[in-house]
Amino acid sequence: MFSVLLYKLEIIKGGLALNYNGKRVPPVVIRRLPRYYRYLGELIRNGVMRISSNALSERMDVTASQIRQDFNYFGGFGQQGYGYNVEHLYMEIGDILGLHDGYRTAIVGAGNLGRALANHDTFEKRGFKLRAIFDNSPDVVGTTIHGIEVMHIDVMDDFLAENPIDIGILAVPRSAVSETADRLVAGGVKGLLNFSYAELKMEKDVAIENVHLSDSLMTLSYKIKQGE
């Protein structure tokens, strides 16, 4: 089943399900899709209806030819010369990202991070539906976060059997990651968003995204150091 690679050599390759229509899409391109989606959302709110790859390029840290290359993995989207239809592109990218599928989520761990994630309204705005929150602490179980009553982790298996969940969000201590992931997968989740430092390695058909909050601080640190 799942293993946590904290002190082991093997490290997740994260290669699962990166293909699009049978073509392999580089992970870096996939990771740009959410950014495109966010920026296109801004354009729509500003009433912009068409945008060229050049204009889009000026707004992002990507060259215009890179944008065209990125989009080509997904069929291209736009007419050259005319630029892209912003709303169409927004819908298409949202669709590719699965944002119109209404994935149901459950958060495990109702500590500070779990609570912050439960209250993070962008998740909902992107179409994800928070259905349950689990914790093992009697201080937290029974309290309400973002309108949802926190359940004891002991009832999670039964809950999942009756209430299908697509995405498990792990905000548990490292020591609990492996077991929690196993139980979520046994309960039928299709993907895990893991916020513990431990890297989850997948051994079956489950999508995984490990989030390292300290990576962004290190990137900022680089900018400070090299900008001095």
Considering only residues 26-65, where is the footprint of a copy of itself by CB under 8 A? Answer: 27-28, 30-31, 33-35, 37-39, 42-43, 45-46, 48, 58-61
Under rule CB under 8 A, which residues in 147-166 are in contact with a copy of itself? 166
Q: Does 182 bind a copy of itself (CB under 8 A)?
A: no
Q: Stretches 90-98, 129-137, 157-165, 179-187: which one binds a copy of itself (CB under 8 A)?
A: 90-98
Q: Stretches 81-89, 98-106, 136-144, 150-158: which one binds a copy of itself (CB under 8 A)?
A: 98-106
3-state secondary structure (DSSP) of residue 168: strand
- Give the separation between CA 200 and CA 81, rounded to whole angstroms: 45
Q: Does 10 bind a copy of itself (CB under 8 A)?
A: yes
Q: Which of 1, 19, 149, 155 binds a copy of itself (CB under 8 A)?
A: 19
3-state secondary structure (DSSP) of residue 78: coil
CB of 9 to a copy of itself, least distance (A): 5
- Give the separation between CA 32 and CA 51, rounded to whole angstroms: 17
- Give the separation between CA 152 and CA 17, rounded to whole angstroms: 32
Give the closest residue to 71 by CA, choosing from 14, 11, 20.
20
- Chain mean position to CA 121: 14
- Nearest CB to a copy of itself, comparing residues 8 and 75: 8
- Nearest CB to a copy of itself, comparing residues 120 and 149: 120
Tokens at 194, concatenated:
């893991």
Q: Which of 85, 88, 104, 113 binds a copy of itself (CB under 8 A)?
A: 113
- Give the separation between CA 130 and CA 200, rounded to whole angstroms: 22
Tokens at 155, concatenated:
């009832």
Q: What is the 8-class DSSP label of residue 18? A: -
- Nearest CB to a copy of itself, comparing residues 2 and 103: 103
Q: Does 11 bind a copy of itself (CB under 8 A)?
A: yes
- Nearest CB to a copy of itself, comparing residues 128 and 141: 128
Q: Which of 65, 80, 101, 154 binds a copy of itself (CB under 8 A)?
A: 101
Q: What is the 8-class DSSP label of residue 83? A: B
Q: Does 8 bind a copy of itself (CB under 8 A)?
A: yes
Q: Does 139 bind a copy of itself (CB under 8 A)?
A: no
User: Please, are residues 161 and 186 in contact by the beta-carbon 8 Å criterion?
Assistant: no
Q: What is the 8-class DSSP label of residue 155? A: G
